[in-house]
Structure 1
Amino acid sequence: MQSSTVKIRGIDDVIAFIDSRPGIVGRAGLIWWLALGGLFLDAFANSALSAGLGPMTRDLALTAKQVALMTSFASWVAIAFNPIGGWMADRWGRIRPLIIAKLLAVIGALLVVFAPSFEVILAGRFFVGAAYGIDFAIAMAVLAEFTPVKLKSRLNTWQGMWYTAVCANLLLALLFFSWDVGDSIWRYSVAATAIFAVVILVLQVSYMVESPIWLARKERVVEAAAAMTRIYGQTFAAAPVEERVPVMNQARRGLANVLLIFRGVYLPRTILAATVQIGQSIQYFAVGWYLPLISAALFGKDFVYATIGALVFNIFGIFGGFLSPFIGRKLGLRRASAFGFAAVFLMLLILGTFHGKMPLWLAVVVPSLFILFHSGGPGANGKSLSSLSFRGELRAGANGIIGALGSIGAAVGLLVFPIFRESYGLEKTFLILSIVPLVASIICFVIKWDPTRTTINPDTEADAPQFKDDAAPSTLDPAIGKAAR
C-alpha cells in the first residue's frame, strides 16, 4: 500500500525528515558509502606513491628535493582546487563536481603510470591534486547532508577508510613485488588507482542523487522533493508556492558568500576547524605518509620487511579511524582533537629523544601509537568540524577554504620531511615537528565550539552573519530541525 505524500515547504521540513531517520539505509546509504568511496580513492591515490617511493627514487634517480617536490605537488595543487571545488558545489550542486573529480583522478593516474620522465609525473600529480581538492570539499558536505543529527559523529568514518586505502596499497605493493617487477613497482600501484577511479566514476554516475538539503537551501523545493522521492522510496511533493517558507540567512554572492565564515559566530568555528585540519595534515603527511621510509630506517632496506612494518603501523590507523566516530560521540570532536594532538606530541617527543636507542618492540609500538592517536583524534575531525559548523550554502565553500589550509599543511609536511631528514637527521626532525601538535592541542582546549555538543542548527540560527538582502527568517516551528547540520 503506497504511503501518503509528504509535503515539503522548505529547508526545515527536509532537515526534520532526515533527522527523523533511524539510520542511513537504502538509496541514502548507497549515496553515503559512494561518497566515502570517493574519499577512499583520494587516499588510495595519495598513498599510491608512498608504498613504492623507495624503488621509485632509485628507478628515476631522484634527488631529495625532487622527492619533496613530487610528493608535495598534489597538495600544492589541492590548495587552489579545494576552494574551487567548494565554489563549484555551492553553485552547481554536489554531484557534477564529484564526477569531474573522478575524471581528473583517472587522467592523473594514467599520466603517472605511463610517464617517461619526472616532468610528466608532475603533470599527472597536478590532476591528482585537482581531483583531491575538489572531491574532499564536496564529499564531506554530502556526508553531512545525508546524516541524521544523532549520527553526525559518523562523519569521522572517512578516517578509517583512509587507512584502509593506505593498507590496501601496501598489500598490493607486496603482491606486485612478488611478480618480480623490480623498481618499476610504483607504476603498478598507480595503475591500480586508475582502475579503482574508473569503478567509482561509473558507480557515482549511476547512483548518486543531488542533495535535497542543498536544493532546499537554494529554494528549489520542487527539485528537493523529487530528489527525496528517489532517495527515500516514498512520495514527496513541494507545497504550493503560498505555503513555502523562505530560507533564512540565504547568502547570495560569490566571494562574499565564502568570506562569511570569517565573520561573527563563524570565526571561532573557522579557526578551530582550520587549526585541526592544518595540524593533522602536517603531522600526518610529514610522518605518517613517509612511514615506509621510516619503517625502512627501523627494519632495514629490504622492501618486504619495510612494507610489512609500514602495514603494521597503518593497521592501527584503521582501528583508530573506525573508532573515531565513537570517540567523537563520547568526548565531542573538539576534545577528541585536543587530547589526540597532545598524545601525538608525546609520541613525537619520544621518537625524537629515544629513536635509535629503543628496543625493537618499542620502535614498533611508538609509531603505531602515533597513528592510533592521530586517526582516533584529530585526523578526521578537521573536515568533520567544517562540515557540521556552517549553513548549507556555505558548507562546501567552507570545506574548500579550510581544506585548502589543510592542503598547505600537507604540502609543508611532505616538503619538509625529506629535506629536514637529510639536513638534521630523523631524530631532530621528529622533535621539530612535535611543535605542531603541541600548539594545535592548546588552541583546541581554548576554543569551546563543538557542533556535537550544541543544539544550534547552522541552517536556522538567527545570529549567523547575513547580507542585507537575505531572505526573511523561517516561520516554521523553531523546534523543527534543531540539530546542527
Structure 2
Amino acid sequence: MQTIAIKIRGIDDVISFIDSCSGIPGRAGVIWWLALGGLFLDAFSNSALSAGLGPMTRDLHLGAPQIALITSFASWVAIAFNPIGGWMADRWGRIRPLVLAKFLAVIGAVLVVFAPGFEVILAGRFFVGMAYGIDFAIAMAMLAEFTPVKLKSRLNAWQGMWYTAVCSNLLLALLFQSWHVGDSIWRHSVAATALFGIAILILQLVFLIESPIWLARKERLVETATAMSRIYGRTFSAAPVEERVPVLNQATRGLANVALIFRGIYLPRTLLAATVQVGQSIQYFAIGWYLPLISAALFGKDFVYATLGALLFNVFGIVGGFMSPAIGKRFGLRRASAFGFAAVFVMLLVLGLFGSKMPLWLAVIVPSLFILFHSSGPGANGKSLSSLSFRSEIRAGANGVIGALGSIGAALGLLVFPLFREHYGLDKTFLILAIVPLVASVICFVIKWDPTRTSITPDNEPDAPQFKSDAEEAPVFMNPAIEKSQR
C-alpha cells in the first residue's frame, strides 16, 4: 500500500505536526540530545578550570587579578560571540555554527593543555569563549524548535546537564589526583574536555539535520519536507506553489532583527529573559563556579576534601536541574524564577551573616540549598525563556543578544568574586552578592509574561510591524493529511 505524503504548505503545518507528537520521536530525539550534549561540553569546558583552580594557582604562581582574568575571560569573549552566533544561525541555519563551535572548543582546550604560561591560557580561553557564545545561542533555539508545545518546560533539562558536567569534572579531578600528577592536575581536566569535544563534534557532523521550522520560516519548503522525512521517518512533500501559505511579516536580516526584540509585545519578554539570564549568571559564576575554593575555605585546603565538598554541593545541582522541567510546568518559568531567586537571596544572607560561625552540618546544607534553588529555578529559566519567547527567524538572534547580557553577568561574577573575597572577606562578599537575586526576584514578580502560560506560539503569532496583544490568539491549523493519520 502506497504511503500518502503529508503535504507541507507552510510554517503552520510544520509546527502543527511537531506539536501533535506525544514526545520527541525518532531522529528528532537524537538531535535533541546531541544539541543538549553540546551544552554539556560548554559546561564541561567552563568547569574544567574550576575543579583544578587551586592547583593551577600554585602551579603557575597566579595572583588574584590573574585568576580573575583567566576565569572570566571566556565570558567576556562570549559577550561578543553570543549575538554573532545568533546572527549566523538566523542567516545560515543551525547546523554549521553548532559544528563550528565544537571545533573552536577543541582548539581552545588544546591550547590550554599545552600552555607554558598565563598568556597562552588566555588565548585558549578566547577560543572557549567563542565556542560558548556561539553554541548556547543556537543550541537552545534548536531545542525549542524540536520540542512540542506541551513539553516546553523540558528545555530546562539543560541545567541538569550542566551540573552533570560539573560533577563529572570533579570526579575526574579525584581520579587524576589518585594518579599523583601534582599541581598539573588542571591540565588533565582540560585534556578530557578536548577528547569529549572531538566526540561531540563527530556525532553532530553525522547525525544533525537542519531545523524544519527554520527552513519553513525561510519558505524553503522542499528542503523542509526532506528534513521532516529524514527526522520523523514519514513521507512529507512540499505543496504545489499555488497551495503554499506565505510567511507574513518575515523579519529582515541584520540589526532590524535585534531591534524587534525591544519593541511591542517582545519588550517585556526581553526584559524578563534578560533579568533572569543576567541574575542567574552573576550568582552562579560568582558563587557556584568557585565552590571548590569555597569548599576549601569551609572544610580545609586538602584537595580531596575540598573537591568532595564541591561535588556534594553540585549533586544538588543535578537534582534541581532535572527537577526544573517539572517545577517550570507546575509554576511557570517566570514564577519558578522569582521563587528561586528569593530562596537564593535567603541562602546568601545566611552564608554572609553566619558563614564563619556555622557548624559543619549547616556549612554543608546551606551551599547545597543555594545550588538546589538556583538550578531548579532561575539557573535553567533564563535561556529557556529567551528560546520560547521569539519566533524562529529571530530566535537565535534574540538568544544571542540576551545571552550576551548573561555573559556580561557571568564575566562580572567570575571577575568580582576573587577580588571581593581578597578585599572584603568571604562573608561580606556573600552579603554584597545577595543584592542580585533580591532585585531579580522583584522584577520577575512584576513582569507577567510566561511562554508556558499562554496559548500563543511565537512562530504563529503576527509580529512587527503589526504587533498583537497577548490576549489575541493567532490561528493555528492542522494539515488535513496529519488529521487523517491521527484518526
Q: How does 1:334-353 map to 2 (within 5 A)?
A: 334-353=334-353
Partner of 1:254: 254
> Among the aligned pairs, what percent are the same residue?
81
Encode CA deviations 1:141-160: one digit per residue, 9 max, x unaligned: 01000000111100000000
Alignment check: 8 A CA contact 1:48 1:193 kept: yes
Stretches of structure 1 lacking an aligned partner (at least 5 in a row): 469-475
- 2:464 is equivalent to residue 465 of structure 1: yes
1:262 alignment partner, SS class: coil
Distance 1:75 1:2, change over 3 A: farther
Alignment check: 8 A CA contact 1:248 1:460 kept: no
In structure 2, C-alpha distance between the alignment counterparts of 1:155 and 1:76, rounded to whole Å: 25
In structure 2, C-alpha distance between the alignment counterparts of 1:460 and 1:93, rounded to whole Å: 19
1:7 alignment partner, SS class: strand
Q: How does 1:88-237 map to 2 (within 5 A)?
A: 88-237=88-237
Q: Scaled by the length of structure 1, what TM-score is found?
A: 0.96
In structure 2, C-alpha distance between the alignment counterparts of 1:187 and 1:367, rounded to whole Å: 27
In structure 1, C-alpha distance between the alignment counterparts of 2:144 and 2:198, rounded to whole Å: 25
Q: How does 1:50-449 map to 2 (within 5 A)?
A: 50-449=50-449
In structure 1, C-alpha distance between the alignment counterparts of 2:415 and 2:475, rounded to whole Å: 52
In structure 2, C-alpha distance between the alignment counterparts of 1:259 and 1:191, rounded to whole Å: 41
Letter aligned with residue 173 of structure 1? A
Shift in Å at residue 355 of structure 1? Answer: 0.6
Shift in Å at residue 29 of structure 1? Answer: 0.2
Alignment check: 8 A CA contact 1:265 1:465 kept: no
Encode CA deviations 1:221-276: one digit per residue, 9 max, x unaligned: 11111000100001100000000001122112311112100000000000000000
Distance 1:439 1:371, change over 3 A: same
Letter aligned with residue 191 of structure 2? A
Partner of 1:473: none
Shift in Å at residue 4 of structure 1? Answer: 1.6
In structure 2, C-alpha distance between the alignment counterparts of 1:251 and 1:399, rounded to whole Å: 15
Alignment check: 8 A CA contact 2:91 2:253 kept: no
In structure 2, C-alpha distance between the alignment counterparts of 1:243 and 1:286, rounded to whole Å: 55
Shift in Å at residue 459 of structure 1? Answer: 1.5
Q: Size of the alignment, in residue pairs?
A: 473
Stretches of structure 2 lacking an aligned partner (at least 5 in a row): 468-473, 480-487
Partner of 2:483: none
Structure 1 stretches of at least 4 aligned residues deviating more than 2 Å after TM superposition: 476-481
Encode CA deviations 1:291-337: one digit per residue, 9 max, x unaligned: 00000000000000000000000000000000000000000000000
Partner of 1:471: none
2:357 alignment partner, SS class: coil
1:452 alignment partner, SS class: helix
In structure 2, C-alpha distance between the alignment counterparts of 1:204 and 1:466, rounded to whole Å: 37
1:215 alignment partner, SS class: helix
Shift in Å at residue 25 of structure 1? Answer: 2.1
Alignment check: 8 A CA contact 1:153 1:329 kept: yes
Q: Scaled by the length of structure 2, what TM-score is found?
A: 0.96
Shift in Å at residue 95 of structure 1? Answer: 0.3
Question: Superposition RMSD on alpha carbons, in Å?
Answer: 1.2
Alignment check: 8 A CA contact 2:16 2:476 kept: no
Encode CA deviations 1:155-210: one digit per residue, 9 max, x unaligned: 00000000000000000000000000000000000000000000000000000000
In structure 1, C-alpha distance between the alignment counterparts of 2:107 and 2:411, rounded to whole Å: 21
